[in-house]
Amino acid sequence: MQVYRLPALSDNYIFLLHDADRRIAAVVDPAEAEPVLSQLKTLESELVAIFNTHHHSDHVGGNKTLLQHFPQATVYGGVEDRGRIPGQQVFLADGDRVTFGDRTAEVLFVPGHTRAHIAYYFPPKNSDDMGDLFCGDTLFAGGCGRLFEGTPSQMIRSLSKLRNLPDQTRVWCAHEYTLKNLQFALTVDNQNLDLQSRYQQVEQMRQRSQATVPSLLIEEKRTNPFLRWDQPNLQKRVNSQDPIQTFSRLRGMKDQF
């Protein structure tokens, strides 16, 4: 399974999963149809699945047009998003599995950004390969999504699920927010040498207009403050030893950043 990262809108990423042997493709969170249709034409492949993580328009905006071109494609989304995702046919719950080509993904229920958000985790085929996590707007490189429909306690449970995945997991998040996320992270975790190094690297990448997605989960565990709510230095920074309160205060600070 090859993953193509397609820029869309102002800062979105659409992910096209491609099985070259079968000449079939699936798409994760098509913000708009045109980049997907263009890539499918280049690959001379058929779209068979649309995997949505949540209902926001910048994640499902291309569904209807894609279905006009590929009416046989199956649209997947969370069961709690019933009625909110255009064309949805399959309603997924935590622990369900979806298959594309010769790969099978586990569905993770990760509410917080929205009440119905799900993620798709494709474990590695071999022990020396990397897994692939398509996490929408729950986890970002260096950050996490805003809490529009969920609570801090929900978001911590969701992020804990993602944090518990293997270190060698590629994190395919849906927005190019990394530089600003790390700028904020440095204001609350400025003694973190891994974070300092990552910020310098990302700054150079963005100066060259290079994408910072995917990141590696081990890198997120070391540098992303929203996966480090149990670290004493961050708890001290927000004057709380309670994990939920620590996370909530960090998220509130980021909202105002």
Give the pLDDT mean for 24-38.
Answer: 98
pLDDT of 128 reads 85
pLDDT band at 82 (very low <50, low <70, confident <90, very high): very high
Q: Name the average pLDDT for the chain.
A: 97
223-249: pLDDT as tens digits = 999 999 999 999 999 999 999 999 999
CB 98 within 8 A of CB 110: no
203-224: pLDDT as tens digits = 999 999 999 999 999 999 999 9
150-207: pLDDT as tens digits = 999 999 999 999 999 999 999 999 999 999 999 999 999 999 999 999 999 999 999 9
Name the residue among 139, 149, 123, 129 with its Cα closest to residue 177: 139
What does pTM read for this prediction? 0.96
Give the pLDDT mean for 100-107.
Answer: 95
For 56-86, b/e burial (b = at least 16 CB within 10 A) is bebbbbbbebbbeebeebbbbbbbbbeebbb
The single residue of 19, 29, 55, 56 carrying the catalytic annotation is: 56
pLDDT band at 97 (very low <50, low <70, confident <90, very high): very high
137 catalytic residue (yes or no): yes
54 catalytic residue (yes or no): yes
Sheet holding 74-78, edge to edge: 2-8, 12-19, 24-28, 46-51, 74-78, 90-92
Give the pLDDT mean for 3-18.
Answer: 97
Name the residue among 196, 199, 186, 189 with its Cα closest to residue 232: 189
Q: What percent of the chain has a predicted confidence (pLDDT) above 70? A: 100
175 catalytic residue (yes or no): yes
56 catalytic residue (yes or no): yes
Q: Residue 158: phi, psi to the nearest 5? A: -65, -45
Residue 73 DSSP symbol: P
58 catalytic residue (yes or no): yes
The single residue of 19, 113, 117, 189 carrying the catalytic annotation is: 113
Residue 91 pLDDT greater than 90, yes or no = yes
Q: What percent of the chain has a predicted confidence (pLDDT) above 90? A: 98
The single residue of 19, 29, 58, 132 carrying the catalytic annotation is: 58
Question: Over the Cα atoms of the chain, what is R_g?
Answer: 18
The single residue of 59, 81, 117, 189 carrying the catalytic annotation is: 59
The single residue of 18, 132, 175, 189 carrying the catalytic annotation is: 175
pLDDT band at 126 (very low <50, low <70, confident <90, very high): confident
The single residue of 18, 19, 29, 54 carrying the catalytic annotation is: 54
The single residue of 29, 81, 132, 137 carrying the catalytic annotation is: 137
At the topology level, CATH places domain 2-255 in: Metallo-beta-lactamase; Chain A (3.60.15)
> Cα–Cα distance between 24 and 53 in angstroms, integer?
20
Sequence-distant (6+) residues with CB within 8 A of 251 are 144, 146, 147, 152, 155, 226
Give the pLDDT mean for 49-56.
Answer: 98
pLDDT of 41 reads 98
> Cα–Cα distance between 175 and 172 in angstroms, integer?
9
Residue 78 pLDDT greater than 90, yes or no = yes
Burial grade of 106 (CB within 10 A; 0-12, 13-18, 19 or more): middle
Burial grade of 90 (CB within 10 A; 0-12, 13-18, 19 or more): middle
Give the pLDDT mean for 124-139.
Answer: 94
- What are the extents of the domains in the chain? 2-255
pLDDT band at 125 (very low <50, low <70, confident <90, very high): confident
What is the DSSP secondary-structure string of 8-21? ETTTEEEEEEEETT
